[in-house]
Structures are given as C-alpha cells and as structure tokens.
Amino acid sequence: MVSLVIEDEYLLSFANAFKEDTLREVIFCLQDAPMALDTIAQTLNIKEEDLSPRLDALVSMNLVRRVKSSNSGPDLYALGFAMEKFGGYPKTKLVRTLSEAMSELIPPFLEQHAGDIEPLCESTGISMGRCVEQLLLSAFSWIMGDLQREVLEEDKRLCETLKKSKPPR
C-alpha cells in the first residue's frame, strides 16, 4: 500500500505531474530517498540532459526540493511530500501501534467537536469520513511542519556525504 501525505495546495500539481509518465517515474524514483542528478539518471536509464527538465518542472511545482550542496558536491533532489510504502516489518508494526494509540484519542475528540465538524460537512457538502480525513492530514502536516528543519538539515548532510563519496567531474 502506498499512502500520500500532501497538502491541499499541492494536490493539483501532484495530479498534473502524476499523469505525465516522465514526471511520475521521477517521483517514484525519489520515493525511497533523496538522490543526486546522476544517480536518478542512472536509475531511470536516461541522460542527465533529458532528466534536468523533468526535475526543473517538479521543482517549479514544489513537488521536489533541490538541496544545494555546499562547495563542489552534487545537489540533492528530494520529494517535497511524503510517499511512504507501509509494507513489511518493522513499519507495519509501528503503523499498527500508532494506529491503536490514535484510535483511543480520536473518537472522543470527534465527539467533543461534533458541533464544529458537522456544520463544516454540511456547508461544504463533503462526507464525515472525508472531513475527518482532511482534519487528520492537516493535523499531521502541522506536526510535520515543526520537523521540517530537521529534514532539511538531513538533506544537507546527505549532500555532504555524496560529495565525499563521489569524485568531482
């Protein structure tokens, strides 16, 4: 199973990128880890000059981040949203444990705030399930916003590691 966690403002960009085979394959290539241009090109078996416009398009859509390497190392490209594959251990166990913990907290929260949620559903015409889904995704986006600094620092460390492991061209 693949789950996407993407903010509403990027959803149209994602849909447009996903319908293009050439952009979709870059998104799938980056789903497991950030990569340098040459690594992506090698993985996709295409020339770097053919890959660059695809990456530029995804960067302009804010779906991919380009992390500039300090000094002469390669830049790193990373997805700007989560595309997590939840198969296999230990992720399945962690997801199940988190789900069980959340299932104890969420129903009482929803009951307590039903007076706010039900009118929202009625005014927008969306189902209760969709409304709750959007609330949860927005809450997780809010939480992850606080962790974004850590993610960006990690991207920079990866750039430095790549720079040290590959000889300059």
Is residue 87 scored above 60 in pLDDT?
A: no
Average pLDDT, the chain: 80
More confident residue, 45 or 85: 45
Looking at residue 52, what is its pLDDT?
95
pLDDT (mean) for 100-110: 88
Contact indicator for 50, 129 with CB cutoff of 8 Å: no
- Rg of the Cα atoms in the chain: 19
Structural domain boundaries in the chain = 2-83+147-165, 86-143
Interatomic CA distance for residues 58 and 71, integer angstroms: 24
Strands 82-85 and 2-5: antiparallel
Nearest to 27 by CA among 39, 18, 36: 18
Strands 76-79 and 64-67: antiparallel
Looking at residue 1, what is its pLDDT?
42
For residue 13, what are its two tokens? Answer: 């960009």
Calculate the alpha carbon distances from 18 to 8, 22, 35, 62, 144 in Å: 15, 9, 19, 13, 23
pLDDT (mean) for 83-104: 71
Looking at residue 130, what is its pLDDT?
77
pLDDT (mean) for 106-131: 86
More confident residue, 18 or 156: 18
Is residue 24 scored above 80 in pLDDT?
A: yes
- Could you tell me the pLDDT band of residue 91, with boundaries at 50, 70 and 90? low
- Could you tell me the pLDDT band of residue 160, with boundaries at 50, 70 and 90? confident
Reply yes or no on domain 2-83+147-165 having CATH 3.30.70.520.
Answer: no
Helices (H), 32-126: 37-44, 48-60, 91-112, 114-124
The residue assigned the tokens 């969306």 is: 126
Percent of the chain with pLDDT over 90: 20
Please list, in sequence order, all residues whose beta carbon lies within 8 angstroms of the beta carbon of residue 53, skipping any fewer than 6 positions away: none
Which residue type, as a one-letter code, is found at position 45? Answer: N
